[in-house]
Amino acid sequence: MDLKNIFKLGALSTALALAGCGGDININTGGEGGNTPPPTTVPAPSQSVQELAYSGFAERNASLSVDGKQVWTLKGLLAPTSGASSMGSGDTGGQDADKIVLGNDVVWELDGAVIAGGDKENSVELIIRAGTKVIGGSDAYLVISRDSKIQAEGSKTQPIVFTSKESALGEIGEAGQWGGLVLLGNAPVNTCPDLDACDASFEVGNHSYGGNDSEDSSGSIKYVRVEFGGFKINDTQEMNGISFAAVGSGTQVDHIQIHLNNDDGVEFWGGNVSISHVVLTENFDDSLDWTNGWQGSAQHVYIRQQDNGSNRGIEGDSNSDADATPQSQPVLANVTIAVANGENSGGDYAEGILFRKGTGAHAYNILVKGGVDSGECLEINDDNTVVSVQDAALTMQNSLIDCVEPFKNAKADAEKGRSLSLDVEAWFLAQQGNLAAAADLNGYMPNSSSVALTGGAADLSNLDARLEDAEYIGAFDGTNDWTLGWTTAIHDEVTPAPSVLPVLTSCPLGTSAETVVAGIYKDSSINLVCTLEGNVTTNTTLLAGQNVMYKIDGGAVVVGGDKTDSATLAIQAGAYIFATDNSYITVSRGSKIMAQGSATHPIIMTSEQDVIMGAEAARGQWGGLVLLGNGLTNKCDDHTRCDVAFEVGDFPYGGNDNTDSSGQISYVVIKYAGFKVNDTQEMNGISFAAVGSGTQVDHIQIHANGDDGVEFWGGAVNLKYVYLTDNFDDSLDWTNGWQGKAQFVYITHEDGNANRGIEGDSHKGTGDTPVSRPVLSNFTILPGVDIENASGDKGEGILLRVATAVSLNNILVQGRKGTTSTTESGECLELDGTYADLVDNVNNDQLTISHSIIDCNEPFKYSSDNAETADAVDVATWFMGQTGNGTATVSITDGMPAATETNLLGAGKDMSTSDSFFESTDYIGAFDGQNDWRQGWAYFPQ
């Protein structure tokens, strides 16, 4: 090769290298014939929407994905730019001069201290869109400098969440995993002798705060959660959930939650900022802490401490120097403090309120509830604070203390330089409207009989313009729960799965990864299988992902111990779970399952054979789901000492609390469960053993179970939107005192493989209580044909027996209409009076049916093995004698009535007028003819 050809190759290589860096490269290498080739243009590589919007002030973390979104990292100083605007559209943010917008199309990661603006220079406005998630590592926190602003405005349905990287990746969130949020303002603080030249140093990072502008604005924070923060630098330097350092009254703060922070929840150093609708849960030190002259306000504050893990609900200081001004003097109203029991790891006992270091305050409508092992609920300490009391700078009115150790006095102590004392109880009770009495709460809500509902101070807005009128004691009025929808760890919420399920790269804590052999599963996208087995004694979340399934293995997976080592098994919408033979899930008394699926992402629980390539799904291939509650069951003579053994596994259930909660099951499909141990021990799709009404159950399907679809042993759990398909024995079965409710239930049978749509029992012993008496409405039951299943049972509609009572309403039973047992259903409504109490229930109107249609060849049957009750009830006469009932041929297609079906549509009873659980309806059966509530989430058998 001659030199000119060598040059040509080298030049082309250089051109290609330069083209990879962008730009147009034109090289004339000449030619052997002297011809000059035309110039070649190489286009610049295109950038993504996020790269165009964010690369000017952030870097993409390509190794991380959260919630199926990209992760972009913020570091160091966020400063204005003079470049062109990079603002995106829709959910995408960007930067325009001094405005930096964090869009919710990605997840934001804080790396170290991220500082918005310089101190009173290079100021920025940091805008965070609703629904945005911000995560931090072990040394990360966010600072808003003086003269800069944060505009973090979420919503009830799309809160902004600051959380730890561990939590965002599906690991267990714990206190101290990252820092927190710091706002630095220009308002007065009493550590500065000259407010015109004030540069107080924040305790972490030496950031400056303070000034003479009490109306200063640091922006707006609304519907924001800060969780798992508070990393510790040393014994005196720790991060709070949100730190307000000399923040002015121009700042707006409402609907914030600080959860599991390793130091204080919120702390104020001077300033005048006001906060409202605040939730402070399980924070380690003080939930609400102020010092150095805070003169803002706080209203509607709920504080819940953690047993053996928290210190004070409120700790209020001003300054050790009594002459320091301004004095702390906030206005507090409508605060509820649930004081924990025990002491935290720092040796501090859980306490309610401590006023000290000369603070003032004006407090109204404060409720403090302590337990047997709580510390003092109201304490005043040191001479300067006693002087505040004497000067009426510290007052408390229309408040309620309900504690075993209600008060602790200020005492003279020469060694500590204290000469003044105060009888705190006498001071408290001498003020207007104060009480030391029972709070009468249901959780944090006052019961209708609670004095808290009527004992609050009136005209709060006239007392202080920053307050709104709320004439009740505590944070809640007993009706409106303003914490719903945006908080965490109060209502056992599971973090919702994103609209598009992410690809997971690892198994959540509490599960173990299993090697996945290519081609083993019917779904070829599955490359991650996470196994759950044994006893689950710590909170565990099964995260949804498009490439992951969860395997229940090794027999019983037991959540929690019986009323000890309580845990919550949370299952995210879209999670797919399969179980091996003889495996099942049991939720112990005191523990919970939070299976929160959705219409677009139901939770599926099925058998291993249903997911393995080449295998065939069938009844009884795994166990099912067992919930064990503390509700009433008539198997116990003494409900306060009740330990009934469940029929499989001997797990105990029962108690005296029919309002008990075992969690939530919503949009869950359970298939091919119900293995058989022996002729008397079989698993149901879901077994509700003394489960209380605090449990939420809606939008569930049990398909092809080897025994019953759902069964109830006592309790008072309620159900709504239930689809029971092709179950072998009884689709819905109750006994032993179930007193719950159910609405919108659709039951179908497989011919030759089913027994009854409903089988209702109560008790055999005389005087057993409670008696089963559920209230049911809007059922459609399509029983199978009158031929025996493998156990010798035939297809039937409803059997009520064994002394049960019940209120049936808006029920449709439509049997097959052939001429032989192989083509028609068995009896559609049967009463069995063998136990005389059932006949008594009929005669006493405790067993009733109204506004119902029986459309069957064999509509009614009465049976009895007791000579004394033979022929005691004529079922047809009993049925036809009640309001709205009839026997008629109706037209339905897959449960849905035809538009012209007037026997059903418009013929029902509106149960909502007598019980708010029930939705308003005017039709008979499970469907109104227009809306199919199964769509989107249910499995439709072929």
How many angstroms separate the CA atoms of 335 and 321, rounded?
A: 29
| Residue range 176-213, pLDDT digits in tens | 999 999 999 999 999 999 999 999 999 999 999 999 99
pLDDT band at 496 (very low <50, low <70, confident <90, very high): low
How many angstroms separate the CA atoms of 680 and 707, rounded?
A: 11
Angle at CA of residue 155, ends 102 and 497, nearest 5°:
75
Provide the 3-class DSSP secondary structure of residue 7.
helix
Mean pLDDT across the stretch 903-910?
A: 98
How many angstroms separate the CA atoms of 605 and 575, rounded?
A: 9
Full DSSP string of 143-176: EE-TT-EEEEE--SSS-EEEEEHHHHTTS---TT
CB atoms within 10 A of CB 825: 30
Mean pLDDT across the stretch 364-384?
A: 95
Mean pLDDT across the stretch 719-725?
A: 98
Residue 39 has pLDDT above 70, yes or no: no
How many angstroms separate the CA atoms of 184 and 871, rounded?
A: 84
pLDDT band at 325 (very low <50, low <70, confident <90, very high): very high
What is the pLDDT, as a whole number, of residue 1? 34
Residues whose CB falls within 8 Å of the CB of residue 845, separated by 6 or more in sequence, listed in order:
none
- Mean residue pLDDT of the chain comes to 92
How many angstroms separate the CA atoms of 290 and 921, rounded?
A: 53
What is the pLDDT, as a whole number, of residue 14? 35
The H or E element spanning position 876 is helix 875-880
| Residue range 684-701, pLDDT digits in tens | 999 999 999 999 999 999
pTM: 0.68
Q: Which two tokens stand for residue 365?
A: 């409508």
Q: Which two tokens stand for residue 50?
A: 């996020």
Q: Say which amino acid occupies 260.
A: L
Residues whose CB falls within 8 Å of the CB of residue 831, separated by 6 or more in sequence, listed in order:
800, 801, 838, 842, 847, 861, 862, 863, 873, 875, 878
State how beta strands 400-402 and 435-436 pair: parallel
Provide the 3-class DSSP secondary structure of residue 24.
coil
Give percent of the chain with pLDDT exceeding 90. 85
Mean pLDDT across the stretch 642-667?
A: 95
What is the pLDDT, as a whole number, of residue 12? 32
Q: Which two tokens stand for residue 135?
A: 């995560």
| Residue range 512-525, pLDDT digits in tens | 999 999 999 999 99
pLDDT band at 238 (very low <50, low <70, confident <90, very high): confident
* CA dist list (Å): 720 to 696, 744, 778: 9, 6, 10
| Residue range 723-782, pLDDT digits in tens | 999 999 999 999 999 999 999 999 999 999 999 999 999 999 988 999 999 999 999 999
Q: Can you tell me which residue has the tokens 């506004």?
A: 851
Higher pLDDT, 716 or 345: 716
What is the pLDDT, as a whole number, of residue 5? 36
What is the pLDDT, as a whole number, of residue 821? 85
